Amino acid sequence: MLRRGPAEREIRMSVDEAAVTISGGAVTLRTRREEVVKRIRHALLTGELKPGQRIKEARLAESLGVSRPTLRESLQQLVHEGSLVQIPHKGVHVAAPTPEELLDVAEVRVSLETMAALRLAKDPQGEAMDEVRAALDRHLAAIDSGDEVQTDVTHFELHRTIWEMSGSVTLRKIWPLVGSQVQRALSVDQATMRNPERDAELHRRLIRVIEEGDEETIVAEVRAHIQASVAEVVRRLA
């Protein structure tokens, strides 16, 4: 297992909803709501918050060291993004995406991630691609380490880097909303069919194709990369 620094302290979530807590001490940053959202997103990404699990506000607020109103604001932001759902008379739960939702998100991702990949391909030796290659290296190192938490985090970060390094202001602006849906899809993918060798090969090939710069091949590879995985997840969930 990789040794984590203070900025990467584990978020642990009890499967028993009556004991829901997130460790790591009280939130101390100036914008507490943003830090709470970040910590909950991390727990969602790593699967420590499970699809369908109820969020117990009192215990979660206590574990994070924030007030109930601050926590509620953070939860409502995540409800708005689609990561959580508000169920009448039953509180806030972790969203459990349906097969139809997963396929819909995949179609959106294909269009936007293709746009990002084609922009990156215009300068395969530039600084933006250097950042993407560095993100790939971190992901491959996490896979090799056997650390599933870091593997999931670096997987998400690699795709975020592709979007953000594309140079598109629009893609950067919409990433927070689309990224929450990507996060849910990746979490379901890993929970359903974790396969480190497959994961490593798929991402090496995706970045290699972007570096080579052939537009038709990039379009086909991005679509295959996203839709093949989602189709297999949907098949297994059926």
Give one DSSP letter per residue of 33-97, joined into a string: HHHHHHHHHHHHHTTSS-TTPBP-HHHHHHHHT--HHHHHHHHHHHHHHTSEEEETTTEEEE---
Q: How far is CA 89 from CA 58, 79, 92, 93, in A?
A: 16, 16, 9, 12
6-94: CATH, from 1.10.10.10, 3.40.640.10, 3.90.1150.10, 3.40.50.2300: 1.10.10.10
Closest C-alpha to 164, from 174, 154, 155: 174
Element (H, E) at 90: none
Residue 116 is predicted with a pLDDT of: 97
Residue 238 is predicted with a pLDDT of: 66
Residue 220 is predicted with a pLDDT of: 97
Average of pLDDT values for 20-36? 64
Q: What's the chain's average pLDDT?
A: 83
Question: Coil, helix or strand for 4?
Answer: coil
More confident residue, 200 or 29: 200
Residue 187 has pLDDT above 80, yes or no: no
Residue 117 has pLDDT above 90, yes or no: yes
Residue 10 has pLDDT above 70, yes or no: no
Q: Contact, 185 vs 82, CB < 8 A?
A: no
Cα gap 12→209, rounded to integer Å = 37
Task: Give the domain ranges of the chain.
Answer: 6-94, 99-237
One-letter amino acid identity for 162? I
| pTM of the complete model beyond 0.85 | no
Average of pLDDT values for 1-9? 46
Based on DSSP, count helices (H) and strands (E) in the chain, helices before strands: 9, 2
- Confidence band for 26, pLDDT divided at 50, 70 and 90: low
CB atoms within 10 A of CB 89: 4
The CATH superfamily holding the domain 99-237 is GntR ligand-binding domain-like (1.20.120.530)
Average of pLDDT values for 108-113? 93
Scored b (16 or more CB within 10 A) or e, 135-149 reads bbebbbebbeeebbb
